[in-house]
A and B are shown apart, each in its own frame.
Chain A
Amino acid sequence: MGAGKNMANSKLAVVLSKDRPGQSEHEILERKILGGLEGRHDLEVTVLPHLYDLANDGPGMEFLRSVGGDLVVLTWLYPRSAYWVLDANGVKGRLGPTISLAEEEIDVPGNPGERAIWCLDLRNQKRPDPFLKEINRIASLAVEPATVAAGQINGRPNWIDEPTAPRWYPVIDFSRCGNCLECLNFCLFGVFGTDADERPIVEQPDACRSGCPACSRICPEGAIMFPQHGDPAIAGDPRISPKDLKLDLSQLFRDSDPLQIAEAERRRALEERERQSRQTAEKPSELPRKGSLDDLVDRIDDMDL
Chain B
Amino acid sequence: MPKPLIFMMGRSPAFIATDRQYARNHMWVQPDGAVCRVGFSAYAVKLLGDVHHLAWSAAPGRAVRSGDPMGFIEGSKATSDLYCPMDGEVAEFNPRVLADPSLINSNLYDDAWLFSLADARGPLLSSEQYLDHLEASWPLAQRLLKGQSSGRDAGAGGKPASDPA
* Chain A 212-229 interface 0/1 with B at a Cβ cutoff of 8 Å (1 = within): 000001111110000000
List B contacts of A254 (CB < 8 A).
25, 67, 81, 83
List A contacts of B157 (CB < 8 A).
217-222, 242, 258
Q: Which of A82-90, A117-125, A259-267 contacts B (4 or more CB under 8 A)?
A: A259-267
Residue among B69, B78, B151 making CB contact with A265, cutoff 8 Å: B69
Interface contact tally, CB-CB below 8 A: 118
| Inter-subunit contact A253/B160 (CB<8 Å) | no
A265 to B69, CA, bound (A): 9
A211 to B55, CA, bound (A): 14
Q: Which of A128-136, A244-252, A275-283 contacts B (4 or more CB under 8 A)?
A: A244-252
Segment 77-123 of B: residues with Cβ below 8 Å from A: 77-83, 87
The residue among B74, B141, B154, B160 with the most chain A CB atoms within 10 A of its own CB is B160
Q: Cβ of B30 < 8 Å from any Cβ of A?
A: no
| Inter-subunit contact A249/B47 (CB<8 Å) | yes
Nearest-CB residue, chain A, relative to B150: A243
Nearest-CB residue, chain B, relative to A251: B144
The residue among B55, B71, B72 with the most chain A CB atoms within 10 A of its own CB is B72
Nearest-CB residue, chain B, relative to A220: B157
A245 to B152, CA, bound (A): 9
| Inter-subunit contact B156/A250 (CB<8 Å) | yes
A250 to B79, CA, bound (A): 8
Q: Cβ of B48 < 8 Å from any Cβ of A?
A: yes
* Chain B 45-65 interface 0/1 with A at a Cβ cutoff of 8 Å (1 = within): 001100000010100000001
| Inter-subunit contact B78/A248 (CB<8 Å) | yes
| Inter-subunit contact B25/A303 (CB<8 Å) | no
A248-B65 CB under 8 A given contacts A253-B25, A253-B44: no
Size band of the interface chain A makes with B: 35 or more
List A contacts of B13 (CB < 8 A).
none
List A contacts of B165 (CB < 8 A).
185-186, 289
Residue among A230, A255, A268, A293 making CB contact with B72, cutoff 8 Å: A230
* Chain A 177-219 interface 0/1 with B at a Cβ cutoff of 8 Å (1 = within): 0000010011000000000000000000000000100000111
| Inter-subunit contact A301/B47 (CB<8 Å) | no
Q: Cβ of A300 < 8 Å from any Cβ of B?
A: yes
Residue among A185, A220, A261 making CB contact with B164, cutoff 8 Å: A185
List A contacts of B66 (CB < 8 A).
300-301, 303
Least distance between A298 CB and chain B CB atoms (Å) = 10
A243 to B155, CA, bound (A): 10
| Inter-subunit contact B69/A248 (CB<8 Å) | no
Q: Cβ of A25 < 8 Å from any Cβ of B?
A: no
| Inter-subunit contact A248/B79 (CB<8 Å) | yes
Q: Cβ of A231 < 8 Å from any Cβ of B?
A: yes
| Inter-subunit contact A247/B25 (CB<8 Å) | no
Least distance between B5 CB and chain A CB atoms (Å) = 19
| Inter-subunit contact B164/A186 (CB<8 Å) | yes
List B contacts of A259 (CB < 8 A).
158, 160-161
Q: Cβ of B149 < 8 Å from any Cβ of A?
A: yes
Q: Cβ of A291 < 8 Å from any Cβ of B?
A: yes
Nearest-CB residue, chain A, relative to B54: A230
List B contacts of A257 (CB < 8 A).
144, 158
Q: Cβ of B145 < 8 Å from any Cβ of A?
A: yes
Nearest-CB residue, chain A, relative to B158: A258
List A contacts of B145 (CB < 8 A).
247
| Inter-subunit contact A303/B87 (CB<8 Å) | yes
Residue among B65, B77, B159, B163 making CB contact with A247, cutoff 8 Å: B77
| Inter-subunit contact B164/A243 (CB<8 Å) | no
12 contacts between A and B (CB under 8 A): A211-B57, A220-B157, A243-B152, A249-B80, A252-B44, A252-B141, A254-B81, A259-B161, A265-B69, A289-B164, A293-B160, A303-B66
**Interface residues, chain A, with chain B CB atoms under 8 Å away:** 182, 185-186, 211, 217-222, 230-231, 233, 242-243, 245-255, 257-259, 261, 263-265, 268, 289, 291, 293, 300-301, 303-304
Having A249-B78, A258-B155, A301-B66, one finds 14 other A-B pairs with CB under 8 Å, namely A186-B164, A222-B157, A230-B55, A242-B152, A245-B148, A245-B155, A247-B77, A248-B78, A253-B26, A254-B81, A259-B158, A259-B160, A291-B164, A301-B65
**What are the 3 A-B residue pairs with the smallest beta carbon separation, nearest first?**
A249-B80, A247-B78, A301-B67
